[in-house]
Chains A and B, each alone.
Chain A
Amino acid sequence: MSKLQLRGVRKAYGATVALRRGDMKLDRGEVHVLIGSNGSGKSTLCKIVAGSVRPDGGEVLIDGRSVEFSGPNDARKAGIGIFYQELSLAAHRTVAENICLAALPVSGGVFVDRAKVAETARRYADLFAEVAGTGFSLDATVESLRADQRQLVEIMKTLATEAPILIFDEPTSALDRAQVDCFFGILRRLKEEGRSIIFISHRMDEIFAIGDRVTVMRDGETIETDRIADTDHDAIIRRMVGEKGELAPPAEAANDAASGGGQVILKVEGFSGPGFSNIGFEVTEGEIVGFGGLHGQGQSAVLRALFGATPGNSGSVVLDGRSMSAARPRAAIREGFAYISGDRGRDGAIAGRPILENVTPIHFLKNRLALARPSHLRNKALPALEALKTKYAGLASSINSLSGGNQQKVIIARWLIDRPAVLLLDDPTKGIDLQTKTDLFALIRELAAEGMAIVLYSSEDAELLNNADRILVFNSGAIARELTGSDRTRYNLYHAAYEAA
């Protein structure tokens, strides 16, 4: 009997299906690897097991008994410990408090037993004593730690649950070699104790180093489970790609511009900043350059830095022959940059305000308008909205009344009134429907045909393969590989992205 079994577990957020069908069996004393591309449902599956996401259907069985969790607390009591990819740490609490947070030891019923907290935390911190690095101590606040040290704290916190089932959702993404080796040593010991471990990583070498079995996920489904010994890199990548690998046709219309060698609009050299280093690329007139690779390898960071939204960058950025360094978005916009983010709530929508106000802020900024003349603005806004087939009740209705896709269209429209020279797209189709995506990419191609230089980062590989003339594959904050022409296949994209850093 399996320690943990999932049967047809599924979860949807509105129209977006995060997990279509999750089936897997986790044995006692094994490290079971989950692998799949961005958005294939790995994290959702883990969160369902850990009780922090409630499934729409299907069954979770522990030791053969069906369980239903009302929250993470339930799952913890049922013997499940989880490492969250986005970490679950309290930034201003100390390392020791964080390690023990789930079940703080108390004395007298109400008081925190500090000696016990320190003792428990010490036990887990000592496991990593050799590799934790300077500045790491039990009474340091998590806020003051480096990214890799925070990740270690989350690992210790997970280990401190002493749960028979441990889930690690990308625990090694910020760790260095020595830290990973140390961690793997611990995992092997836990395995010998008979604990069951689910392990997610995008580093192929790690998967082969630690895994016993591997389950590949694709498009929200668990595809197949193999013993690690019976498989290899290529077989796993082929499975992740699926049959679509051969079906994804490189955009043909876009090909000409790429080879045309038109005038260079944007030239970036030796560009470094938080999350990326030594980035160099060129975008010519009418070209769509794609940023590919796994999530969070520096693609968004580069785009935001170019737009002046994050400080602390160095390197050379040349736009239309003029050297520039945008210190803030206002300057970048005046220079001719446009930035559209998939995170509408944070970067796009002016929540609660009318559509008209949401379409016109860039027009205001670029023309230094001081007064709003509704009739004048209306004439500017309508054609821009029309170009995207935006559906809305009236210019005066709030942007919140629109669907996600139409909100995004409104935000794109604001850049169409006064055309920018370079369009930076940061995963622009996140959470929007298929029809809108189609409209959007038709427009993007049209803009490119008119001569705009476009940089597109997308977490959906099909979007990149279908629309980008060239794809720069990012890995750990650097460009690992450039795919051009007929090299732009799903297989090559995954291969470059999953290459050991």
Chain B
Amino acid sequence: MSDTTVIAGSAPRSFRRFIERFPFLPALVILVVLLALNGLFEPNSLSYRAIRGLISTYLALILLSVAQTYVIYAADLDLSVGAILSLVNVGIIMLMQHLGGSPGGVLLACGAGILIGLACGIVNGIVVAVLRLQAIVATFATSILFTGLALYVLPVAGTPAPTVYWRTYGGTFFGFPFVFYVAVAIAIVLFLIARTRLITQLLSVGDDQQAAYQTGLPVTLIRLKGYALCGVFAALAALCVTGDTASGDPLVGGEMTLNSVAAVVLGGTALSGGVGSVTGSVFGALIIGLISSLVFFVGTPSEWQNLVQGLAILLALMVGVLVGRRAKS
């Protein structure tokens, strides 16, 4: 009698352990399926060129989803990541224009862009962690603030980026596209960040804020650092967007905010905090990207594209979330 119950209980347990260790697995499976479907409907979509295009287009969303992941680790949320991206985008465009298109000026502008992102992240951290406003509402408010600043800096979209900037981003060095180097560099950075004490602390705060406080962790400072990190990655996303679009647009990031949240959830990270992985978020962002291209490749009439895309994302969410939930129960 007791033997049968043990066996009945142990089969899903190994599955559960597996999912627990690799929460991004369902996302990876969905990603592979989408790649296959893309290849089926448009064989060219799996070509070297197409993959390169995919990466250079979606690198920004990937970085933005990573940014979002760090705050969601601590059960916070940042609805201003898109606005930070926009602000940094127009900020560096204007700076590059002022400093001239020289490589030195471009690098200086990029550095300033990252500082802008950091500053925005710290502002979010102060309103949410220090002043203890509701994360959703507070970052929604700061998103309007940042968008307002972006519109002040560049009221209309269109100022072009210096040639050296987008040529580099779209260029090829030593036989490999620049974006591949960027992707590898980002992978290394993410790997290193995942090992920092801050990440463990963010996840612990997300697990149970009261417990973390009682343990003696500086909860406010940890959450603040999470937002700061988020701001920096939103700025990095802006550098990619600028390379991809080669121009400034004060509203470019608006739509990307909720995509970043969806990507994080698709990647198996819990909005309630405490569990997740940036790897999952990267996959999540790619899933969203591949869904839009798949919708295009299957030849959906343009007026139906949004609807089909919405349904597809919903489906992906259901598959991912249901698998995760089954593993937990």
Give the contacting residue for A112; candidates B20, B200, B208; CB below 8 A: B200
Complex interface: chain B residues within 8 A of A84 (CB): 211, 214
B42 within 8 Å of A by Cβ? Answer: no
Give the contacting residue for A92; candidates B201, B214, B274; CB below 8 A: B274
Tell me, in angstroms, the Cα distance from A52 to B217 when the chains sit together.
11
Give the contacting residue for A101; candidates B195, B196, B198, B215; CB below 8 A: B215
Contact, CB under 8 Å: B216 / A90: no
Contact, CB under 8 Å: A73 / B197: no
Q: How many contacting A-B pairs (Cβ < 8 A)? A: 73
Residue interface bits B189-219, CB-to-A below 8 A is 1, else 0: 0001001111011011001101111111110
B interface bracket (residues with beta carbon within 8 Å of A): 20 to 34
Contact, CB under 8 Å: A93 / B192: no
B275 within 8 Å of A by Cβ? Answer: yes
Contact, CB under 8 Å: B200 / A92: no
Contact, CB under 8 Å: B214 / A101: no
Contact, CB under 8 Å: B215 / A102: yes
Complex interface: chain A residues within 8 A of B218 (CB): 73
Contact, CB under 8 Å: B200 / A111: no
Q: Which label, helix, strand, loop or mixed, suits the secondary structure of the B interface?
A: helix
- Chain A positions 87-114 with a Cβ under 8 Å from a chain B Cβ: 87-93, 97, 101-102, 104, 106, 110-112, 114
Contact, CB under 8 Å: A89 / B196: no
A75 within 8 Å of B by Cβ? Answer: yes
Complex interface: chain A residues within 8 A of B203 (CB): 90, 92-93
A92-B203, A104-B201, A112-B195 known; A87 vs B211 contact (CB < 8 Å): yes
Contact, CB under 8 Å: A73 / B20: no
Contact, CB under 8 Å: A90 / B213: no
A160 to chain B: closest CB distance in Å? 11
Give the contacting residue for A88; candidates B20, B195, B211; CB below 8 A: B211
B325 to chain A: closest CB distance in Å? 15
- Chain B positions 171-198 with a Cβ under 8 Å from a chain A Cβ: 192, 195-198
Complex interface: chain B residues within 8 A of A111 (CB): 192, 195-197
A90-B204, A91-B274, A141-B20 known; A110 vs B213 contact (CB < 8 Å): no
Tell me, in angstroms, the Cα distance from A380 to B274 when the chains sit together.
46
Q: Which of B207, B212, B213, B275 has the most CB of A within 10 A?
A: B207
Tell me, in angstroms, the Cα distance from A323 to B208 when the chains sit together.
41
Complex interface: chain A residues within 8 A of B204 (CB): 90, 93, 97, 101
A470 within 8 Å of B by Cβ? Answer: no
Contact, CB under 8 Å: A71 / B216: yes
Q: List 30 A-B contacts (CB under 8 A).
A: A52-B213, A71-B216, A73-B216, A87-B211, A88-B208, A88-B212, A88-B215, A90-B203, A90-B204, A90-B208, A90-B274, A91-B207, A92-B203, A92-B275, A93-B200, A93-B203, A97-B204, A101-B200, A101-B204, A101-B217, A102-B216, A104-B200, A106-B197, A110-B198, A111-B192, A111-B197, A112-B195, A112-B197, A112-B200, A157-B215
What are the 4 closest A-B residue pairs judged by CB atoms, nearest first?
A90-B207, A88-B211, A90-B204, A76-B216
